[in-house]
Amino acid sequence: MSSIRGRVSGTPPELESKLIAHRNKILGLWAAERMGMMGEVAADYALGLVATGDKNPDDRVLVKKVCADMRARGYPISSRDVGRQLEACSHQARAELHDSSS
């Protein structure tokens, strides 16, 4: 599911970790916005997803958590839709980190 993890040959592990953490943060902010979270609450939710990704590198765990959280707040979403968003977040994270290092 991840477009970052294990797909870029020669990517240093520290850069790959940074990309994944940034991707998870972007996904968390996206989900938080849809659940009506704002400000610090949204930022805390996003950082929570970063921590979830750090504890368990399996993207399916992350997708399942987002689906469950959104469902609990009255915003049901399919794992396929969250997976697509995770993919979009991967591209965004890569572009943002590339731009910041240029």
pLDDT attached to residue 10 = 57
Residue 97 contacts by C-beta under 8 Å, 6 or more apart in sequence?
Answer: 15, 18, 19, 22
- The pair phi, psi for residue 8, each rounded to 5°, is -110, 105
pLDDT at 66 over 60: yes
Q: Could you tell me the residue ranges of all domains in the chain?
A: 13-101
Which of 29, 30, 8 lies closest to 19 in space, CA to CA?
A: 8
pLDDT attached to residue 22 = 96
pLDDT at 24 over 80: yes
1.10.790.20, 3.40.50.920, 3.40.50.970, 2.60.260.20: CATH of 13-101: 1.10.790.20
The structure's pTM equals: 0.87
Which of 19, 35, 41 lies closest to 86 in space, CA to CA?
A: 19
